[in-house]
Structure 1
Amino acid sequence: MEEFFRENWPLFIPVVLINYALVAAALVNLFRRQISPGKKWLWAAVIVFIQYLGPLCYFIFGRKE
């Protein structure tokens, strides 16, 4: 398994960068919006702790509020 990661680590870099970009964009958008602080912190936790799906769920469902 270690050999797999050693040989293929360049393939994981874009995946990690896309994740960081999604998280950053979602958090910036979230904290610029005018919603209640409770909902804001709940969405922030979802975005940060549920990788990939958290930011996507926010952009799909959270921005409709």
Structure 2
Amino acid sequence: MSVHDTLPILIPLIILQFGLAVWALVDIFRHQQYKIGNRYFWIPMVLLISIFGPVIYFVFGRKDY
């Protein structure tokens, strides 16, 4: 399996990761209150835990407004 074989799989995953991270970061900076933790906890979580960081934020960190 070469790099050219995996590109059609990797490109959508990279776009998904980038989009989720941007969406989560915008939400973090717009709001001051969270279910768990604070802004300084969620920013590294979103940036460092690949696709799962933003998903964890939206499930456990984002407060319903």
Taking structure 1 as the reference length, the TM-score comes to 0.81
Q: Which runs of 5+ in 2 are unaligned?
A: none
Matched length: 62
Aligned residue for 1:14? 12
State the structure with more CA Rg: 1
Aligned partners of 1:21, 1:43: CA distance in 2, in Å? 16
Identity fraction in percent: 34
Q: Deviations along 1:30-53, whole A, 9 cap, x unmatched?
A: 1000238x7101100000000111
Aligned residue for 1:43? 42
Higher relative contact order (CA 8 A, sep 6+): 2
Aligned Cα root-mean-square deviation (Å): 2.0
Which protein is richer in helix relative to its size?
1
Aligned partner (choices 22, 26, 40) of residue 24 of structure 1: 22
Segments ≥4 residues shifted beyond 3 Å: none
Aligned partners of 2:6, 2:49: CA distance in 1, in Å? 24
Taking structure 2 as the reference length, the TM-score comes to 0.81
